[in-house]
């Protein structure tokens, strides 16, 4: 049910795509910038009504001009060396994103590699945590039948492919 693919998440025709946002939910660089650019200004307008989001949390909006119907905005932890609860917060992001998708009865969802860009979470540590969360937590949400991990670059694709194989596929 979990597929690792390489590409641009803004092109995904899934019910929801996940955004790696910051606490303000008001946009930024990386995948957040790409999602806002592709969705158009109505996405930012809806985000302004949400009052931000805690680290480890998730909030859902429409997808506007994106092919995806919804955007689920999560806030991953900034890597601070591993002693500040980063692993649990990264797990929590994925768990909460699946919960929002499951509560809406969605079938397909695509995730980027949360926290491993600007937030500097080491890729070899983030990939197994993200995949474990997706495998474990999706079991609670029977409508979710398709989960894609959309990797932008070769190193990210390799890390998630390796981690999925290590977890038994
Ligand atoms: N599709 C899929 N993945 C992408 C795309 C895309 N179009 N563009 C970038 N990535 P980052 P973070 C990958 O930095 O570390 C923002 O400014 C990228 O190569 O986007 O959680 C927010 O506003 C990397 O593998 O997110 C926050 O302030 C992954 O997405 C902050 O960055 C995550 O990198 C969040 O930092």
Express each pLDDT in 50-93 by its tens digit: 999 999 999 999 999 999 999 999 999 999 999 999 999 999 99
Closest alpha carbon to 154 in 1, 4, 2, 10: 4
Name the band, by pLDDT with cuts 50, 70 and 90, for residue 96: very high
Q: Which of the listed residues 5, 21, 24, 30 should we mutate to test ligand 1's pocket, taking the one with most ligand atoms within 8 A of CB? A: 30
20-47 per-position pLDDT tens digit: 999 999 999 999 999 999 999 999 999 9
Cβ partners under 8 Å of residue 41, min gap 6: none
Verify whether ligand 1 is closer than 6 Å to residue 119 (CB atom): yes
Nearest CA to ligand 1 atom 12: 115
Q: What is the pTM of this model?
A: 0.98
**Å from CA of 31 to ligand 1 middle:** 4
Instruction: Give the pLDDT score at 168.
Output: 84
Catalytic residues: 32
**Å from CA of 29 to ligand 1 middle:** 7
What are the residue ranges of helices labelled H in 17-122?
Answer: 30-39, 41-47, 86-103
């Amino acid at each position: 049910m979990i597929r690792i693919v390489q590409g641009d998440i803004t092109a995904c025709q899934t019910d929801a795509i996940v955004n790696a946002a910051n606490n303000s939910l008001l946009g930024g660089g990386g995948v957040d910038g790409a999602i806002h650019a592709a969705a158009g200004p109505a996405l930012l307008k809806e985000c302004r009504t949400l009052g931000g989001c805690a680290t480890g949390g998730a909030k859902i909006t429409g997808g506007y001009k994106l092919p995806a119907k919804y955007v689920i905005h999560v806030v991953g932890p900034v890597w601070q060396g591993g002693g500040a609860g980063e692993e649990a917060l990264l797990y929590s992001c994925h768990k909460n994103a699946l919960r929002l998708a499951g509560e809406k009865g969605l079938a397909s969802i695509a995730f980027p590699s949360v926290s491993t860009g600007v937030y500097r979470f080491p890729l070899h540590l983030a990939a197994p945590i993200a995949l474990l969360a997706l495998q474990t937590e999706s079991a609670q949400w029977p409508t979710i039948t398709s989960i894609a991990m959309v990797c932008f670059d070769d190193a990210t694709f390799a890390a998630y492919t390796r981690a999925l194989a290590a977890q038994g596929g």
